[in-house]
Structure 1
Amino acid sequence: MTYTGDVQVGGPADVRELSKLTVTKLAVGPFDNNAYLLRCTDTGEGVLIDAAAEPDRLLALITDQPLAAVVTTHQHGDHWQGLEQVVKVTGAATIAHPLDAGALPIAPDRLVEHGDRISVGVVTLEVIHLRGHTPGSIALLYDGGDGQQHLFTGDSLFPGGVGNTGKDPERFTQLYDDVVERLFDRLPDQTRVYPGHGKDTTLGAERPSLPEWRARGW
């Protein structure tokens, strides 16, 4: 089956097979969040990005294979409703940015900063701090070394714009600037973007709209 990234709450997961990593995307309710299970094809070790909700469905996705960690992209409650149950069953470590850690239901086992690395078996994810949606929002970048980058952006970047900044001009400017400088100025157009809600996109699909986003202020 060809991966599309178009998943629905209550529906099946979608799976993308890469050379060293399998990406499984699942939509969970009630807020139509995306959860991503990344699994190293060499070792079978996994990392879950956002145990958003419906822990039973997340655990069914994980099955009995090893889960090394759950990464929470930011502090908003719709991204961690399933965290405690998933960690209780799997024993996975928890990871978040220190500026958002205090709002999570359990204290993270590991705090990560911009530029840090998270291992998934023999591969690594790079932490990119994107300030504005929340103080400690992070994205995770996987570079497969084959000219294709995969970027998990939480609620900081979506098809059609950056994340919600509460109509605060300072927060918007910070998020917009971080997204431009740390994502668009650095990564190629073919970089695939996996957001915290909704469909996937690429940096190339969104790049022409950057001036419009800045002008409208959201």
Structure 2
Amino acid sequence: MQYIRVQSIENEYFKGMHRLLGTIFPPEEVLAFELWKDPIQDPDIHVYVAVHNGEVVGATEYRYYPELRVAMTDFTIIGAMELGVGRFLYVEREKDLLRLQQQSGSASMGMFAEIYNPQSITGFAFGDVPAMHPVVRREVLSHIGYRKLDLRYVHPSWDHEGKAVTELDLGFRPADEDTESIHAALVVKFLRQYYAALPNKPKEWTEMVSGLESRDRVELLPL
């Protein structure tokens, strides 16, 4: 299996990756094909595909913020079972994130991820791949160390319509296993930077961020 970076919508593997995204996630969570043109060329956005026998069987997108000393997993998708795709993506991503830390002369405090809450989801499609079911994914993320932030999370929809998406928790995997909370100011800085690309933000998101600004720390709870 190959771990290949995709930095253009003209890349031979981009179409397969985008198709896979559309089969796993609901429409409001998937950026339209043509809207990928500019962001995928951003050197700070790392999009990699797992290629097996010439076909895209998985993909992951992530970024590292050296000034904040945190990373973010945008998505991880598995499109085929019994190939070890999930483990392959995890190992290769960890290697690359370590490289990014060394390159920037920083040490990561942890990694954010938006995690679906199965109890909030109705009629969720996951591309007929059992490994992508929200319950399974949540347990896997818990197993590798993710916890959820103690807040009612909402994020702007990626379809640029400014809708409030409320079916997820904001998770964080601390580098130090004993970490029980993180600074609220860090969460605010991260969210403002991460969602700077979306001009239309729902009032629920603005209210959530304002609430975080009035807090000192945010507890990390079990998933």
- Under a length normalisation based on structure 1, what TM-score does the superposition of the two structures give? 0.33
Larger strand fraction of residues: 1
Which structure carries more relative contact order (alpha carbon 8 Å, separation 6+)?
2
Question: Is the radius of gyration larger for structure 1 or structure 2?
Answer: 2
